[in-house]
Amino acid sequence: MPQQTVRLDTSLERMVSACAVAPAAMVLATIVHTAGSTYRKAGARMLIRADGTYLGLLSGGCLEADLREHADQVLRSGHARAVEYDMRGPDDILYGIGAGCEGAMRVLLEPIGAGTSGAQALQGAVEASARGDTASLMVVHESTEMPLGTYRVQPPLPMWLLAQGHAAEMARSTLSIDTTHEHGRTRALAQYVAPIPRLLICGCGPDAEPVARAALALGWRVVLVDHRAAYAKADRFPGATVHAAPAADLSVTLAQLDCHAVVVMSHHLASDTEYLRVLARHDAPGYIGLLGPAARRRRLLADLGADAERLSARLRAPVGLRIGAVTPEGIALSMIGEIHAYLAGLPTHGE
């Protein structure tokens, strides 16, 4: 079963939060084009504050000092500008960077802060993503007819750019635009913004806490369910949503969450059987992780009877990458690592 498209880069949410509380204007730096080998790709962003500190990275530290210089000019002028870096071959020496990355990129720098059109555009995309919806952003980095910057895909963008933005969202793909028209030339990035990953954890035992923390640290949305009210306590899982409900009611949570991955780890045989039975009767998600040894997996699948076959293509049991983990934190790392690989479209040990 193909997995749903998700956005593993959740830095957009952190930048929106930073813009909302910033006392002064900052500069938003967005990669709008790359060629060759680069640390980040088109659509990656960082915020550069007036004091020179920054949030996020566009390179492994190779370009940030130079970007700060350009950002200072953008803040002084109040106007966006695009800069280019070509680190392929001997041309790298011209920039005085000496990174040797063998890649090139074009970066748009624009003033941004609370209430600016750029901040509002990012906020709209984040709100859509939080709802589980898709969105798109239009990043205009060269134009003779409109100011450079990041826009929502809505008026006052010209109709032809609106069409490109909607096409990116429908295709679930980021599109590079380079068009010559009656007003001159326009280059832009129509960026598809996918929903953030949503993880469901069935079981609120002590070892679920590091799993939830690891997922939340990546910016994922996390929901936990447990039939034991004594375990299903929200204060044990700050930042997550916690429900106390019988395992048989899992269908309600699945319908509300539309999750991308599930981990079954209640350590209660009857409950894990019921969780798996409910999941077997739903087509999604495509990733179901089961904690526990192979012998326990065999017993659970035997108890499921005919429903077990419906899980065969989706079940990872024992869950997690084989990294030699022995502590709850290490096991959580292996589990979240495997889910991350799955969401990125990479093979896991169950495939």
DSSP string, 284-295: --SEEEE-S-HH
pLDDT, tens digit, 9 for 90 and up, residues 149-172: 999 999 889 999 999 999 999 999
Q: How confident is the model at residue 36 (pLDDT cuts 50, 70, 90)?
A: confident
Average pLDDT over residues 119-138: 90
Q: Is 144 helix (H, G, I), strand (E, B) or coil?
A: coil
Residue 235's contacts (CB-CB under 8 Å, 6 or more residues apart) are none
Q: Which of 45, 55, 59 is nearest to 87 (CA)?
A: 59
* pLDDT at 308 (0 to 100): 93
What's the rounded mean pLDDT across residues 219-228?
Answer: 95
Q: Is pLDDT above 60 for 97?
A: no
CA-to-CA dists, residue 182 to 139, 143, 144, 147, 162, angstroms: 20, 12, 10, 17, 17
| pLDDT tens readout for residues 104-124 | 899 999 999 888 889 999 999
Q: pLDDT digits over 253-263, tens only?
A: 888 888 999 99
Say whether 195 sits in a helix, a strand or coil. Answer: coil
Please answer whether residues 30 and 124 qualify as being in contact, where contact means their C-beta atoms are separated by less than 8 angstroms: no
pLDDT for 2 equals 39
Collapsed DSSP state (helix, strand, coil) of residue 256: helix
Mean pLDDT is lowest, of 25-29, 37-41, 68-72, 194-198, for 37-41
Q: Residue 134 — pLDDT band, cuts 50, 70, 90? A: confident
CA distance 250 to 238: 22
Q: Which residues contact 13 (CB under 8 A, 6 or more apart)?
A: 126, 129, 196, 219
Q: Does pTM top 0.85 for this prediction?
A: yes
CB 234 within 8 A of CB 265: no
Q: Are 188 and 161 in contact (CB under 8 A)?
A: yes
- Indicate the pLDDT class of residue 130, thresholds 50, 70 and 90: confident
The pLDDT of residue 247 is: 94
- Does the pLDDT at position 183 exceed 80? no
pLDDT (tens digit, 9 = 90+) per residue, 273-282? 999 999 999 9
Confidence of residue 322 (pLDDT cuts 50, 70, 90): very high
198-343 has which CATH code?
A: 3.40.50.720
Residue-level pLDDT at 344: 93
Output b/e per residue, 284-312; b: 16+ Cβ within 10 A.
bbbbbbbbbeeebbeebbebbeebbebbe
Chain centroid to Cα 190, Å, comes to: 17
Residue 38: pLDDT band with limits 50, 70, 90: confident
Mean pLDDT of the chain: 90
The domain ranges of the chain are 11-193, 198-343
